[in-house]
Amino acid sequence: MVTLILLSHSPKVVEGVRDLALEMAPGAAIVPVGGSAAGTLGSDYDRVFAALEAAASQGEALVLADMGSAKMTGEMAREALPSELQERVFLCDAALVEGGLAAAVAIAGGCGAKAVIDSLEDYILDK
């Protein structure tokens, strides 16, 4: 099972992407992690780490982030996981909204993380 983890500085952004993606792919596992623990704008390492750890413990995790420090937080959290869990966490540079929707559809269709990443080629930001 692949869990899509959406990272943003804004809780509203990732919650909105999750809600839209679930309309298109109701069976997808999607975890939005946005903002600080206090609910303000920001990036919360502990919340990101917990989401990655939980998803990787159950299967694979595919992480999409909106920009800079949200992506960096995802990378740092992945690196802090035990190696057996790190192998199950995949960071992808796809656009958060478009990539998130496409990833959710692929996940709901039963694709593994690597196949989902391959399907996101058109949404990769840094080619």
Please state the domain extents for the chain.
Answer: 2-123
Q: Is 110 helix (H, G, I), strand (E, B) or coil?
A: coil
What is the rounded distance in angstroms from the CA atom of residue 45 to the CA atom of residue 117? 24
pTM more than 0.75: yes
Asked whether the beta carbons of 91 and 74 are under 8 A apart, the reply is yes
Task: Give per-residue pLDDT as tens, 64-110.
Answer: 999 888 999 999 999 999 999 999 999 999 999 999 999 999 999 99
Third-level CATH fold of 2-123: Rossmann fold (3.40.50)
Asked whether the beta carbons of 114 and 89 are under 8 A apart, the reply is no
CA dihedral 96, 68, 49, 57 (to 10 degrees): 40
Task: Give per-residue pLDDT as tens, 44-66.
Answer: 999 999 999 999 999 999 999 99
CA torsion through residues 92, 63, 15, 120, sign? positive
